[in-house]
Amino acid sequence: MPTYDPEPFRIKVVEPIKLISPDKRRTAIANAGYNVFTLRAEDIFIDLLTDSGTGAMSHHQWAALMEGDESYAGARSYFELKKAVEDIFGFKHFVPTHQGRAAENIIAAVLVKHGNHIPSNMHFDTTDANIRARGGRPVNLVIEEAFDPANPHPFKGNMDIEKLQAFIEQTGPQNIPMGMITITNNAGGGQPVSMENIKAVATLYHSYGIPFFIDAARYAENAYFIKLREPGYANHTPIEIAREMFSCADGFCMSAKKDAIVNIGGLLALNDDVTFQRISNELILREGFVSYGGLAGRDLSAMAVGLYEGLDEDYLAYRLNQTAYLAGLIREQGIGLIEPPGGHAIYVDAGSLLPHIPHAEFPGQVLAVEMYLEGGIRTCEIGSVMFAHPHPDTGEIIYPKLELVRLAIPRRVYTQSHLSYVAETLGKIAQRAKKLKGYRFTYAPELLRHFTARFEPI
Ligand SMILES: Cc1ncc(COP(=O)(O)O)c(C=O)c1O
């Protein structure tokens, strides 16, 4: 019987949740155009849509909120955050942003020109879209093992170094204004990147004079995976590993809504003085002054505390054990998932569960809708709805290799029995999988279409 060590916290504040009736769930999802993003949160029992901004803050963070300094410029809260950012990440300059995509927008506005290419292991959807919105081309060069859901490779988020080198040679470094890597690799299953790979990527980018930026949303989980899995790091603390990872890079953008365990916030940091000047100007235009970047002072204070809490070893052990527990229950029922389980989420292989539904009829979307109908659980499709796109030259639709449904686990929010219920619900759907049918769009915007698309059953 899988289980995990007790949560290293006790619950001080509770929020009721309710499972509405199957009839009401049917009406709710139909009214939402079969898009779980459009559901009312009140109609959801267990919300695994995302681990972003959905964590439970600690009493220290709530206390920090109360002490937030709301001065327009130079607030005490800004300096608290600055101290934490310098201590953990070590870059010369930083700005707060209201969330990760704002940091991406700003770095893309400053560095990406029409026709530029930006390689990464895998870009997350907002990073991908922000590069495309500036006329650039995001390029994903993760190792091949990432596309084999059963492969137990310990660092499936690693970049394919040979492919990266060939890509830079072919494209020309002058057309690559920055190179990236995402830790952990959300779009590829929340899989970690090894320290060895981060260093090799950094060396390669730098040998061509390309600045190296990390998409650091889940930096703490990545650091803990390195501790657990990479030889030589067992006796290092997560903060030491984080410092070593970031010492290889020229900058990073980050959604603080994940490992910094805040409900809103982001960061952009770098060493280059000239680029920082341009970033500051762009930030003031779009987000706010450099010392608050679109956030309230209290948000900066809560982030300063959360950056350290996310690196706490007891917390990280519990966090990764909780994910592994849910994975164990799903695996036991013979349902395919990306192995080994990632840090923040389980990625169920909807393609193998629903082999009779083609990419164009969205097997991941089918499973996401069924999770809601069966158990009031909200999940997120990470497949053709999110990533299929026309080839920029030929117009042919390019489908992603995997059709996944992500069960993202909010930090410090759900208990072991919630997760058991999630696994049982999935098991019930698996038993009637053969009877399920696909969906087609009734509306789809050009960029980031999964957020607002509407569907109808085929
Ligand atoms: C790897 C990664 N990068 C960037 C983002 C965007 O961050 P935000 O939602 O704060 O804009 C996310 C959000 O899920 C992410 O997972």
For each of the chain's 458 residues, which pLDDT tens digit applies? 668 888 999 999 999 999 999 999 999 999 999 999 999 999 999 999 999 999 999 999 999 999 999 999 999 999 999 999 999 999 999 999 999 999 999 999 999 999 999 999 999 989 999 999 999 999 999 999 998 888 999 999 999 999 999 999 999 999 999 999 999 998 888 999 999 999 999 999 999 999 999 999 999 999 999 999 999 999 999 999 999 999 999 999 999 999 999 999 999 999 999 999 999 999 999 999 999 999 999 999 999 999 999 999 999 999 999 999 999 999 999 999 999 999 999 999 999 999 999 999 999 999 999 999 999 999 999 999 998 888 888 989 999 888 999 999 999 999 999 999 999 999 999 999 999 999 999 999 887 788 999 999 99
Indicate the SS3 state at residue 276.
helix
124 C-alpha to ligand 1 centroid (Å): 7
Distance 100 CA to ligand 1 centre (A): 5
What integer pLDDT is reported at residue 125 of this predicted model? 86
Q: Which atom of ligand 1 is nearest to the CA of 51?
A: 14
According to the model, what pLDDT value does residue 1 have?
64
Judge if the beta carbon of residue 215 lies within 6 A of ligand 1. yes
User: Does the CB atom of residue 124 touch ligand 1 within 6 A?
Assistant: yes
Between the CA of 5 and the centroid of ligand 1 the distance, in Å, is 29
Indicate whether residue 194 lines ligand 1 (CB < 6 A). Answer: no
Is the CB of residue 35 below 6 angstroms from any atom belonging to ligand 1? no
Spatial contact of 155 and 161, defined as CB atoms under 8 Å apart: no
CA torsion, ordered 83, 89, 93, 99, to nearest 10 deg: -90
Determine whether the shortest distance from the Cβ of 182 to ligand 1 is under 6 A. yes
Contacts of 372 (CB under 8 A, 6+ apart): 25, 28, 29, 36, 39, 44, 378, 379
Q: Is 280 exposed, middle or buried (0-12, 13-18, 19+ CB in 10 A)?
A: middle
Measuring CA to CA, which residue among 355, 326, 351 is closest to residue 341?
326
Are 98 and 265 in contact by the 8 Å Cβ rule? The answer is yes
Paired sense of beta strands 46-47 and 377-378, if any: parallel
| 190 pocket-lining for ligand 1 (C-beta < 6 Å) | no
The residue to mutate among 37, 118, 218, 255, having the most atoms of ligand 1 within 8 angstroms of its beta carbon, is: 255
CA angle 71, 74, 75 (to 5 degrees): 45
Q: What is the pLDDT of residue 189?
A: 85
Catalytic residues: 72, 124-125, 215, 217, 258, 450
Q: Which domains does the chain have, with CATH numbers?
A: 22-51+312-457 (3.90.1150.10), 59-309 (3.40.640.10)
253 forms beta bridges with: 215, 268
Ligand 1 pocket test, pick from 258, 286, 451 with the greatest ligand atom count within 8 Å of Cβ, gives: 258
**CB of 257 shorter than 6 A to ligand 1:** yes
